[in-house]
C-alpha cells in the first residue's frame, strides 16, 4: 500500500529564514522549494536504487546518485565492516569517468563518520584545518568533504564519500542531512541486493549438489549379485548431497573380483568429484593390468599430479579369487581390512601411505590370504569408527571388533545391519560430520 507523506508548510518569511544552511541541520528546512527538491531527490534516488537487485549495478547507482545529490567532484564507495577493512570498490569523477582505486581520500573523516554512526562534513577554510583532517586533505587541496556510513540493522557495509576542490562548493547542513537520509536507504539497497545474491548462490549450490549427487549415484557401482561363492552387501551414506567416500566392484576374468573402497579428505561436491576421477582412473588401469601394486602406484601418481596440496585419499584394494579362495590386498592409508573367522578377528593393516601426497611411492601387495567357507570380510571408511555420541565419545574400533565377533552365522547384509544399529544406538541422535561406507563379503560354499 502506498504511503502518503504530509508536511506542514511554514509561512514564506519563516521558510526563507530557516533555509540558511548555517542555521539548520535538518533535512526539512522549512523552505518549501528546497524541501520539495530534497524530498524529490531522496525519493527518486531510493526508488531507482532500490528497484535494482543486481548488487554490482546497485553499487554503481549509489556512486552516481551521490555525485548527483552532492554536486561534488569525486565520489567513492568504500566497502567493509570496519574502518580498517574498508576498500575502495568504485571511484568516479563528476563526468562519470572511473578513477584509480588507489585514490587518496580523507581517511580521518571516514573513520570519524563510522565511529559516530552518521554523516560527517567538513568545509576547509585554511591549511591548518586541512591538516587536522589529515595529510591527504591538505595534499589534495580539498575544500569540502562529505561522507556517510552505510549501516543497517547494526551491520556496517561501508561508507559513501564525496569531496570537491572547488572554492564555490561547500557542503551545507542540508547536504549533510540529505546525505545521511540517503545513506541509510543505500545501505538497505545493498543489504537487499546481497540477500538476493546470497539466495541465488544458495540455489546454484543446491543445484550443483543435486547434480553431483546424481552423477555420483550414476557412477558408483551396483553391488554384484549372484556371484559364485560370494555374498556381498553395501551401506553408503553421504553427510552432504555428495560424498568424499567411494567404492567399486570390478569383475575380472577367471572368477576374480576387485573390491575398492576409498575416502577423500573432506566431503561435498569437491571431494565427490575427486573420488569420481580416482574411480575412473582405477577402472582404466585394471583394463590394462590386474596387478594390485601396479594399479595402486599408478593411482597414487595420478592423484599427486591432480590433487591440491593438503588433500589426499585413502584407498583399500582387495583382489578376491573365488576359484582359489584366496585374497590379496593393498592398503594405502585406509582403515584395516577385517577378517572374521569362527568368532575371531584378524586385522590386516596398511601396506603404504595415503595417496596423492608423495609420488613414486611403493604399495606392496599382501597375500595370498587363504579364505574359508563362512569367513566374513569387512571393510569401511572411518565414518564408522568415528561415529560420535552426545558426550563426543567415538564408536571406535574396539566396539566394532567386539560386535563383529558375533556375526559368524549372519549373511553379509545382516552383518551391516547389525553395525548400522550399533552405531545409531551409540550416536543417540547426534548428526554426524563424516560420510560412512561399509562393505561385507561372506565366503560361501562352491
Q: pTM of this prediction?
A: 0.55
Distance CA 321, CA 315 (A): 20
The DSSP line for 81-103 is SSGGG-EEEEEEETTS-B--TT-
Residue 379 CB contacts under 8 Å (≥ 6 apart), including other chains: 259, 261, 316, 318, 334, 335, 337, 338, 438, 439
Burial 408-442 (b: 16+ CB within 10 A, else e): bebebbebbebbeebbeebeeeeeeebbbbbbbbb
Closest CA to 88 of 73, 105, 112, 65: 105
3-state secondary structure 282-326: HHHHHHHCCCHHHHHHHHHHHHHHHCCCCCCEEEEEEEEECCCCE
- Looking up cell 547536504 gives 175
Which helix (DSSP H) or strand (DSSP E) does residue 121 occupy?
strand 120-123
Q: What confidence tens digit (pLDDT) does each residue in 311-356 have?
A: 788 999 999 999 999 999 999 999 999 999 999 999 999 999 999 8
φ/ψ (deg, to 5) at 87: -135, 140
Domains in the chain, please, with CATH?
A: 12-196 (3.30.450.40), 211-443 (3.60.40.10)
Nine cell digits for residue 425 = 544406538
Asked if 167 and 27 count as a contact pair (C-beta separation under 8 A), the reply is no
Which cell goes with 120? 560527517
388-413, pLDDT tens digit by residue? 999 999 999 999 999 999 988 899 99
Q: What is the DSSP letter of 127?
A: H
Give 239's DSSP letter.
S
- pLDDT in single tens digits along all 446 residues of the chain: 433 333 333 333 333 333 333 333 455 556 666 566 656 666 666 655 555 556 677 778 778 877 877 778 888 888 888 888 888 888 898 888 888 877 878 788 888 888 888 888 876 555 555 455 555 555 556 667 888 888 877 788 888 888 887 555 567 777 777 777 777 767 777 777 666 666 666 666 666 666 666 655 656 678 888 788 999 999 988 765 556 788 999 888 888 999 999 988 865 566 666 777 788 888 888 888 889 999 999 999 988 887 777 778 899 999 999 999 999 999 999 999 999 999 999 999 999 999 988 988 999 999 999 999 999 999 999 989 999 999 999 999 999 999 999 988 899 999 999 999 999 999 998 888 777 899 999 999 86
Q: Chain centroid to CA 263: how far?
A: 21
Amino acid at each position: 500500500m502506498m504511503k502518503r507523506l504530509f508536511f506542514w508548510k511554514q509561512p514564506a518569511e519563516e521558510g526563507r529564514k530557516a533555509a540558511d544552511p548555517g542555521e539548520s541541520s535538518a533535512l526539512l528546512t522549512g523552505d518549501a522549494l528546497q524541501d520539495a527538491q530534497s524530498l524529490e531527490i531522496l525519493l527518486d534516488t531510493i526508488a531507482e536504487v532500490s528497484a535494482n537487485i543486481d548488487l554490482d549495478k546497485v553499487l554503481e547507482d549509489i556512486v552516481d546518485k551521490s555525485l548527483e545529490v552532492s554536486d561534488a567532484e569525486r565520489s567513492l564507495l568504500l566497502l567493509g565492516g570496519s574502518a580498517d577493512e574498508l576498500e575502495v570498490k568504485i571511484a568516479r569523477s563528476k563526468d562519470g569517468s572511473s578513477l584509480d582505486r588507489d585514490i587518496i581520500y580523507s581517511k580521518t573523516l571516514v573513520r570519524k563518520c563510522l565511529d559516530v554512526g552518521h554523516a560527517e562534513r567538513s568545509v576547509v577554510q585554511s591549511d591548518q584545518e586541512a591538516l587536522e583532517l589529515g595529510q591527504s586533505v591538505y595534499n589534495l587541496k580539498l575544500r569540502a568533504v562529505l561522507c556517510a556510513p552505510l549501516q543497517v540493522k547494526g551491520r556496517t557495509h561501508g561508507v559513501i564519500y564525496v569531496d570537491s576542490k572547488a572554492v564555490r562548493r561547500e557542503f551545507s547542513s542540508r547536504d549533510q542531512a540529505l546525505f545521511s537520509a540517503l545513506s541509510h536507504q543505500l545501505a538497505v539497497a545493498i543489504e537487499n541486493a546481497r540477500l538476493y545474491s546470497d539466495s541465488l548462490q544458495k540455489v546454484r549450490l543446491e543445484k550443483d549438489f543435486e547434480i553431483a549427487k546424481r552423477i555420483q549415484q550414476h557412477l558408483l557401482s551396483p553391488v554384484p549379485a549372484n556371484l559364485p561363492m560370494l555374498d556381498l552387501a553395501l551401506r553408503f551414506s553421504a553427510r552432504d548431497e555428495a560424498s568424499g567416500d567411494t567404492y567399486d566392484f570390478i569383475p575380472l576374468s577367471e572368477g576374480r573380483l576387485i573390491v575398492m573402497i576409498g575416502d577423500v579428505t573432506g566431503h561435498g561436491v569437491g571431494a565427490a568429484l575427486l573420488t569420481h576421477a580416482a574411480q575412473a582412473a582405477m577402472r582404466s588401469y585394471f583394463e590394462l593390468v590386474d596387478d594390485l601394486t601396479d594399479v595402486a602406484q599408478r593411482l597414487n601418481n595420478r592423484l599427486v599430479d591432480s590433487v591440491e596440496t593438503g588433500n589426499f585419499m585413502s584407498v583399500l584394494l582387495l583382489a578376491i579369487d573365488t576359484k582359489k579362495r584366496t585374497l590379496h590386498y593393498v592398503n594405502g592409508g585406509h582403515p584395516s581390512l577385517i577378517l572374521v573367522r569362527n568368532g575371531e578377528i584378524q586385522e590386516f593393516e596398511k601396506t603404504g601411505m595415503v595417496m596423492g601426497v608423495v609420488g613414486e611411492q611403493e604399495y606392496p601387495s599382501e597375500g595370498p590370504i587363504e579364505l574359508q567357507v563362512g569367513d566374513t570380510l569387512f571393510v569401511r571408511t572411518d565414518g564408522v569408527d568415528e561415529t560420535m555420541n552426545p558426550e563426543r565419545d567415538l564408536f571406535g574400533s574396539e566396539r566394532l571388533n567386539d560386535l563383529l565377533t558375533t556375526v559368524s552365522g549372519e549373511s553379509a547384509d545382516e552383518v551391516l545391519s547389525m553395525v548400522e544399529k550399533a552405531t545409531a544406538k551409540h550416536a543417540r541422535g547426534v548428526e554426524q560430520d563424516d560420510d560412512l561406507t561399509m562393505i561385507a563379503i561372506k565366503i560361501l560354499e562352491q
